Amino acid sequence: RDGALAGARDIIAESVSEHPEVRGELRDLFARRAVLVSRVVKKRQAEAAKFRDYFDWSETLSRAPSHRILAILRGGNEGVLRVHARPAEADALTRLRRRFLRGHGFATEQVDQALHDAYKRLLLPSLEREALKAAKARADEDAIRIFVTNLRELLMAAPFRNRRLLAIDPGFPTQGKGGREEAARVLRDLVRRFAPEAVAVGNGTGGRETETFTQDLSLDLPTIMVDESGASIYSASDVAREELPDHDLTVRGAVSIGRRLQDPLAELVKIDPKSIGVGQYQHDVDQTALKVALDDTVVSCVNAVGVDLNSASASLLAYVAGLGPTLAKNIVSWRNQHGAFRTRQELLGVPRLGRKAFEQAAGFLRIPDGSHPLDASGVHPERYAVVEAMAKDQGCSVADLLRDEERRSGIVLDRYLGEGVGRPTLEDIMEELARPGRDPRPAFEAFSFADVHAIGDLEPGMVLPGIVTNVTAFGAFVDIGVHQDGLVHVSQLADRYVKDPNEVVRVRQQVQVRVLQIDLERKRIGLSMKTTARATS
């Protein structure tokens, strides 16, 4: 009899667990009321220090922020946290009983046991996996959105363009008095020979010390600290070896530091976006979705700024719409063999670059001193005839039209409407004629840290200038020049309530912060931007 009853209960449990309406109702319960719980695995507590905040944690899963979900799931994947996400068992069983139990008696008791078994053995594990998977997908989406926003700000940071720089990778400190004297002699000689307009110093190990060293030399040049995240990865990359085959890693690193000050976009496209120090839990999110989003962002930024056809690297050209790595390399090879491009039309002579690729890419490629004045602008070659007609009607050349606002003001756009040329296209052309080849990035603003160089120099209450290096769902990290970024928690970003840190701060923004607390043991710095520590830009 017991065996028969057990078999009957198993059949009922299987039937209940496969009932689509039951799963739908319980899935909704998990979505609304599941509680995310994490507990430390006791025998692995020593190696779980970075998850200390989640040793005994619980919160409603639907309200958990993306960074916390990803952190807890990482701890679970590493085997140092036990992670669950489930509603109260009584709530789930109440729904099952309401649907299946009728009356009282022995049979009802057997069905009730089957419902318990169906829930705990069959429904709970699968629904919990579904709930965590859905929460992970939501967290991934938020994390990718944050990463994309940060990357865009970083790529579109102000360039220090067309400036001669003396770039220094401070990774290997100069030792002893003799070494410092020799370094001083070399730097002064380089300044005398090449007349740079600024000194670019990487902000890694030894960066602040190198900054002080160069300033003490009275070179009469500004010293600009440059975020060197990913520079070492570039130095050892195939791209770096191709670009600088006759130099070692340290020289390549210094070159990259200087270039990323001159043009952050052109240099940072050579590095995997996941290696440049922005975003949160980027190695935990869906890597395919992340790559697509980041690649789309880089393409968007490159095309918004435009690319100098005669100086751009293959890495930069590869992100121009219609090109890609192969055509980019072919363009560089053509340039090396034939010299600088004189017109955009010469692109059609590049191997494998056909008419379709030309149509997609040409408008984003610039030739500053080309044969045709519009080759330096964002006007597509297909629209040159329209501009030439405008110039003819104004009794001037295209070059005159670009220079003379009064002549442009006499243009009546409706005269040039035609097949494939609507008013929005004409308005875009007029905007481009007013600012040919315009760079949408902001103007460069110099920045200097305060006279603090190490975390031990900090005291609560200090108000310091800083640069935002990363924005996350829980706040912003700020470089204040002590080799350890401080955290402005979202609750400290402004005097008002802030839901999304991106409402208040952006990567590379210059801010004023107040030191709240210093944890020397854990190398953590708490900062505030409230009231007396507001953003300056």
Helices (H), 384-481: 384-393, 398-403, 405-409, 423-434
510 beta partners: 467
Judged by phi (left if over 0) then psi (alpha if -120 to 50, else beta), residue 352 lies in left
Is 309 in contact with 366 (CB distance < 8 Å)?
yes
Is 127 in contact with 85 (CB distance < 8 Å)?
no
Closest listed residue to residue 249, CA positions, set 169, 136, 156? 169
Residue whose entry in the numeric block shows the structure tokens 């315009």: 438
- Residue 218's pLDDT is 87
Is 252 in contact with 244 (CB distance < 8 Å)?
yes
Backbone phi and psi for residue 517, each to the nearest 5 degrees, phi listed first: -155, 155
What burial class does residue 33 get, using C-beta atoms within 10 Å of its C-beta: 0-12 exposed, 13-18 middle, 19+ buried? middle
Judged by phi (left if over 0) then psi (alpha if -120 to 50, else beta), residue 487 lies in beta
- Residue 176's pLDDT is 62
- CA torsion, points 473, 476, 477, 481, in degrees to nearest 10? 170
Give the distance from CA 33 to its chain's centroid.
33
- Residue 537's pLDDT is 41
- Residue 460's pLDDT is 94
Tokens of 2: 């017991």
Cα–Cα distances in Å, from 91 out to 113, 242, 246?
16, 64, 70
Q: How far apart are CA 280 and CA 507, in angstroms?
A: 13
Count of CA atoms in the C-beta half-sphere (13 A) of 440: 16
**Number of other residues whose CB lies within 10 A of the CB of residue 331:** 25
307 beta partners: 365
Q: How far apart are CA 362 and CA 381, in angstroms?
A: 7
Q: How far apart are CA 23 and CA 473, in angstroms?
A: 33
Is 155 in contact with 264 (CB distance < 8 Å)?
yes
Is 402 in contact with 373 (CB distance < 8 Å)?
yes
57 beta partners: 38
Mean pLDDT by 10 residues, the chain (537 residues): 88 93 96 96 90 94 93 95 96 94 89 94 96 96 92 94 91 67 91 94 89 90 90 90 91 92 93 82 88 92 94 94 95 95 95 95 92 91 92 93 91 87 91 88 90 92 94 93 93 92 93 94 92 50
| pTM as predicted | 0.85
Cα–Cα distances in Å, from 350 out to 60, 316, 344, 366, 417?
58, 17, 11, 16, 33
- Residue 175's pLDDT is 62
